[in-house]
């Protein structure tokens, strides 16, 4: 296996572990975006440009928007009480 592929697999493994271990949700949202970008690089290395494009738009815009909206709504409700 090409060394580039091995390094990318290592990054994805470390990224998954980092996302799971973080307990603060705001930090986890940012780490999940970074994990999504490392997945995009992995998909490009696996010669799948369609999947990489899909993962890029989803992990870059759609998922963080929904996640951060939910977090901000809960935080605003908590502060109001």
- The contact set with other proteins (CB under 8 A) reads 1, 5-6, 9, 12-13, 16-17, 19-23, 25, 28-29, 32, 35, 39, 42-43, 46-55, 57-58, 61-63, 65-67, 69-74, 76-77, 80-81
Closest separation in Å from C-beta 1 to other proteins: 7
> What's the DSSP call for residue 24?
S
First to last CA, the chain: 56
Q: How far is the CB of 3 from other proteins (least distance, A)?
A: 12
- Per the rule left: phi > 0, alpha: psi between -120 and 50, beta: everything else, 48 is beta
């Amino acid at each position: 296996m090409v060394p580039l592929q091995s390094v990318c697999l290592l990054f994805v493994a470390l990224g998954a572990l980092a996302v799971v271990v973080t307990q603060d949700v705001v930090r986890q949202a940012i780490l999940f975006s970074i994990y999504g970008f490392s997945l995009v690089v992995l998909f490009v290395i696996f010669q799948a440009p369609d999947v990489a494009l899909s993962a890029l738009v989803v992990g870059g815009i759609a998922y963080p928007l929904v996640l951060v909206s939910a977090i901000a709504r809960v935080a605003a409700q908590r502060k109001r009480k």
